[in-house]
Amino acid sequence: MFQACFNLTMLAVESQQVIWLRSIKLAAGGPQAQQEARLMMSEKIAAAIREGGRLMMGASADSVVKRYRKRVKANVRRLSP
């Protein structure tokens, strides 16, 4: 139980970092900002469909949170200067 709460809390913290990094990129404008906006939306839609399907097939909420954390960490690495 503690691990699931920890993972959920860390997802919230790590997501805020991605939001901050993306906000900077979007505020800069230009083609890179447009590309980031498209990527952001396509990632979110694909992840929601994929993980929603996993939940319907019986995956645990914690396993879904762990997979989201993995993707969020990849975004932090990609967006960090």
Task: Report the distance separating Cα 1 and Cα 27, nearest Å.
Answer: 39
- Tens digits of per-residue pLDDT, 1-44? 899 999 999 999 999 999 999 999 999 999 999 999 999 999 99
Q: Which residues contact 22 (CB under 8 A, 6 or more apart)?
A: 36, 40, 75, 79
- Looking at residue 58, what is its pLDDT? 97
Q: Assess if residue 8 is contained within a domain.
A: no
Q: Is residue 14 domain-resident?
A: no
In a domain, 5, yes or no: no
Q: Is residue 4 part of a domain?
A: no
Domain assignment present for residue 16? The answer is: no
Question: Which residues have C-beta within 8 Å of that of residue 55, sequence separation ≥ 6?
Answer: 61, 64
The tokens describing 3, both together, are 């691990």
Burial (0-12, 13-18, 19+ Cβ within 10 Å), 17? middle
| Domain, as residue range, for 38 | 24-79
For residue 41, tell me if it sits in a domain. yes
The confidence score (pLDDT) of residue 24 equals 96
Domain count, the chain: 1
